[in-house]
Amino acid sequence: MQRRAFSLTAASALAVSTLGLGLPAHAQLREGKDYRKLDKPAPSDAPAGKVEVIEFFWYSCGHCNSFEPRFATWKQSAPASVVVRRVPVAFNASFVPQQKIYYTLEGLGKVDEFHAKVFRAIHVDRLKLNKDE
C-alpha cells in the first residue's frame, strides 16, 4: 500500500509541477500550502540552475506504460532548464532483469531509440522480459 500511495503522490506532484495539469496558467504555488521545502534538499545530478525531473518506472507496470507516451512528448518539449533522468525501480528481485535492460540501453546510448519498444514488447507483444536469459 505504501508503494501505491508513493506512486500517486509522485505522479500528482509531477503532473502539477511539470506538466501544468490542474492549475490555471496564472496560479502561483505557495510554500507551506501547496508544497513543503525540504530541510535537507535531495541530492541532484543536475547542474546549477537546472531543474531535475526524475521518472521512476517499471517496464511491466501498466500505469508506466500508459504514461510513457505522454511523458516522452513532454520531455521533448521541456524547457532547456529541465534535466530529465529515468530510474527503473526494483521493489523485488523479479524487477532486476528489466532494470538491466534499461541500464544496458543507457550505457549503449540507445534509450531514446528502444525505451518505448521495450514497453511495447511487454504490453503489446506479451513478452515477459523478466529473466536474464
Cβ atoms < 10 Å from Cβ of 72: 14
| pTM for this predicted structure | 0.71
Instruction: Name the average pLDDT for the chain.
Output: 86
Q: What Å distances lie between residue 102 and 26, 68, 111, 133, CA to CA?
A: 38, 14, 7, 15
pLDDT tops 70 at residue 47:
yes
**Is residue 122 within 8 Å of 88, Cβ to Cβ?**
no
* More confident of the two residues 77 and 8: 77
pLDDT, residue 6, reads 53
Cβ atoms < 10 Å from Cβ of 122: 21
Positive/negative CA dihedral, 46, 51, 56, 57: negative
CA torsion 86-90-93-99 (nearest 10°) is: -10
pLDDT tops 50 at residue 132:
yes
pLDDT, residue 8, reads 52
